[in-house]
Amino acid sequence: MIKQSINKKRNEKFDKFKQGQKMFGDDIAVIINSILLSIVYILGVGATSLFAKITGKKFLNEKIDKEKTSYWEEFNLGVKEKEEYYRQF
């Protein structure tokens, strides 16, 4: 009887310890993931932006032409021979 009581107290303490460790691990994971994703975003988007500014690349046509009625651009690839579609690489 006494032994069961002692084991029960140990298990309760151990369960609380495990729960605390899990909460700590979750908090650390959120912090580390936020830092890593921020670094990847800054390097990825920042490098792309810097490269685009250096080369003068515009990803969107931002010029406004008041004489145009529409900014729609036709995308016509044309028709290829049937054999070219089978051997694309």
Where residue 11 falls (left for φ over 0; alpha for ψ -120 to 50; beta otherwise) is: alpha
* pTM, 2 dp: 0.48
Token look-up 């032409």 returns 65
What confidence tens digit (pLDDT) does each residue in 19-62 have?
999 999 999 999 999 999 999 999 999 999 999 999 988 888 77
Split into its structural domains, the chain has a count of 1
What confidence tens digit (pLDDT) does each residue in 61-83 have?
778 888 888 888 788 777 778 88
Domain of 62 in residue numbering reads as 2-86
How far apart, in Å, are the Cα atoms of 76 and each of 54, 58, 71, 82?
Answer: 30, 22, 16, 17
